[in-house]
């Protein structure tokens, strides 16, 4: 099933995990192109992987999906969406708390860019427990995250934390 136009899936992907990948692949079926847009400085917090690392990992992961592209940005998400001609913003929902946050963000984005739709995709139940912050914490303490992230990310985490 293919829709019309371009959708933007904005995220920090620090690190990218199977939940992100699942949402992107599922969302890509409804649009001519899905841009996985990686925000360079999410909420002004310290990131584990720099923007170029995150972009390169995502490009490697999505290389076999011709309708998915990867880009980086460092402006307001709705401004970037307009810049690339997106008609929709894709958001993943795992738990109820995500809904409240995404609802508020979606309403703010609608005020800023009424022409953009926010589309929420529910996480597959096998990925509901996964979050980037949880993965970073487990990896930093030497835990096995191989069931949550692709092998390239698992190796990158081991390298970052020296475990």
Which residues are catalytic, by number?
Answer: 20, 45, 94, 132
Could you give the maximum distance between any two Cα atoms of the chain, in Å? 47
Q: Are 24 and 58 in contact (CB under 8 A)?
A: no
Separation between Cα atoms, residue 26 and residue 7, nearest integer Å: 12
Nearest C-alpha neighbor of 139 from the set 163, 120, 122, 123: 163
Please identify which residue in the block is written with the tokens 């970073």: 136
């Amino acid at each position: 099933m293919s829709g019309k136009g371009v959708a933007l899936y904005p995220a920090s992907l620090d690190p990218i995990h199977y939940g992100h990948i699942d949402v992107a692949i599922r969302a890509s079926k409804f649009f001519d192109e899905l841009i996985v847009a990686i925000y360079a400085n999410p909420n002004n917090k310290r990131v584990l992987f720099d923007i170029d690392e995150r972009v390169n990992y995502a490009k490697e992961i999505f290389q076999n999906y011709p309708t998915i592209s990867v880009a980086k940005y460092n402006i307001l998400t709705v401004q970037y969406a307009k810049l690339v001609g997106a008609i929709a913003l894709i958001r993943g929902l795992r738990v109820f708390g995500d809904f409240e946050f995404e609802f508020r963000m979606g309403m703010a984005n609608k005020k800023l860019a009424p022409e953009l739709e926010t589309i929420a995709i529910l996480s597959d139940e096998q990925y509901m427990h996964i979050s980037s912050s949880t993965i970073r914490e487990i990896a930093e303490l030497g835990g096995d995250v191989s069931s949550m992230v692709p092998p390239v990310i698992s190796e990158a985490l081991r390298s970052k934390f020296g475990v």
